[in-house]
Amino acid sequence: MKFIVSSQALFKQLQTISGVLNSSNTLPILDNFLFEIKDNILKLSCSDLESTMTSTISVESKNEGSIAIPAKILLDILKTFPDHPLTFSFDEKMGIEISSDYGKYKLSGFSGEEFPKSPVIESPTSVHFDAHTVQRAIEKSIFATGNDDLRPVMSGIFVQLSENDVTFVATDAHKLVRYKRTDVKTSTPSSFIIPKKPMNLLKGILQNVDGEIQVEFNESNVSFSFENSSLTCRLIDGKYPNYEAVIPDQNPNRLTIERNSFLQSIKRVSIFANKTTHQVRLKINGSELNISAEDIDFSNEANERLTCSYEGESIEIGFNSRFLIEMLNNVDTDNVVIELSAPHRAGIIVPEKNEGGEDLLMLVMPVMLNN
């Protein structure tokens, strides 16, 4: 078996799918890329059993067949070449020879038959999304996912499709993000939970993808197809918590503040906070916001004052500064609105105004103030 391919085109495709690779695999075959050739099309696959990513590229070949090639050594050699043609030849004993203008390189591969088969999604529901919409939805929500192995449903992003909108939700029980798009609709309401790893992969890849992506799913798997690539992954099994129930609907106290100055202030003050709780205290009175933190063990203390626009009664509330920083980093508007009801109830952070078709809400649980 033999084919000719552009070194940089191959490297680019392999780099895209290589995010699926694990540093330690239970099956040694998963440390390889699967190469399958048919009708001058080379199909590249990579899998960790939970997620499988494939990509196609045009090559010159008179043969058909498949072989698994060690991923690390192949990526290492490809990134050293300028863009020029490479000839790959395979023999019956899975010996691989790569010929370039500079010389020849030999390594051994494995039978393509050993590689796990890509999952086929039977009788799927299909929807189309704008690539930018999906990338943005993941970017705005993924930081709020949990890492608790005992609650796997909270370690993924919950996607809820309805006739009016699509909603992406992520929570770890301390913070929650709900990202809604009213410009995407589907005729068949449904919902599923996608694991964090494939979502992180998509977030990076879709930055460079224009146009639509096709999403197909059934009860156990979901696949995203775009340009000449596709990512298929197993869904998280289980019932997502009722996130609507934790979002308070009565928030009489409303603070509007310049996002960046608030963010920088929290970053400075939080340096002096307790290293376990990361607690910062917000004290709002009239048009003045006082941000403070202290670490009694080390006699560290910080205090800053900001002007703000505030409607409501004076309030003093504590939050984990790391959560506030993450949330403020994921809001794009110049000003943010923080809605509060009581010192022991969740705070809501929203952009002052949402972009077209977008509805972003972030919820953060307070921490008990030690007066």
Segment 359-370 shows an average pLDDT of 92
User: What are 243-259's pLDDT values in tens digits?
Assistant: 999 999 889 999 999 99
Q: In the predicted model, is pLDDT for residue 7 greater than 90?
A: yes
What's the rounded Cα separation, in Å, for the pair 272 and 293?
6
- Here the tokens at position 195 are 């694991």
Q: What is the DSSP letter of 332?
A: -
Q: In the predicted model, is pLDDT for residue 136 greater than 90?
A: yes
What's the rounded Cα separation, in Å, for the pair 233 and 224?
9
Q: In the predicted model, is pLDDT for residue 371 greater than 70?
A: no
Percent of the chain with pLDDT over 70: 99
Segment 231-249 shows an average pLDDT of 94
Q: Which residues of the chain does CATH 3.10.150.10 include?
A: 2-114, 125-244, 247-364
What's the rounded Cα separation, in Å, for the pair 11 and 348?
45
Instruction: Tell me the pairing of strands 229-234 and 300-307.
Output: unpaired
User: What are 177-190's pLDDT values in tens digits?
Assistant: 999 998 887 888 99
Neighbours of 183 (CB within 10 A): 11
* Cβ-based neighbours of 49, under 8 Å, separated by 6 or more: 27, 30, 116
Fold that domain 247-364 belongs to in CATH: DNA Polymerase III; Chain A, domain 2 (3.10.150)
Q: In the predicted model, is pLDDT for residue 74 greater than 70?
A: yes
Segment 109-115 shows an average pLDDT of 93
Segment 129-150 shows an average pLDDT of 93
What's the rounded Cα separation, in Å, for the pair 293 and 280?
5
Percent of the chain with pLDDT over 90: 85
Q: What is the pLDDT of residue 62?
A: 87
Q: By C-alpha distance, which of 279, 275, 276, 369 is closest to 324?
A: 279
- Here the tokens at position 29 are 């075959």
Which amino acid is residue 56, in one-letter code?
T
DSSP 117-166: PPPP--S-EEEEEEHHHHHHHHHHHGGG----TT-GGGGEEEEEE-SS-E
- Under the banding of pLDDT at 50, 70 and 90, the label for residue 100 is very high
Neighbours of 198 (CB within 10 A): 26
CATH of 125-244, one of 3.40.228.10, 1.10.760.10, 3.90.1170.50, 3.10.150.10: 3.10.150.10
At which residue do the structure tokens 């085109």 appear?
9
Neighbours of 67 (CB within 10 A): 22
User: What are 251-297's pLDDT values in tens digits?
Assistant: 999 999 999 999 999 999 999 999 999 999 999 999 999 999 999 88
Mean pLDDT of all residues in the chain?
93
165 contacts 247 by C-beta, under 8 angstroms = no
User: Domain 2-114, what architecture?
Assistant: Roll (3.10)
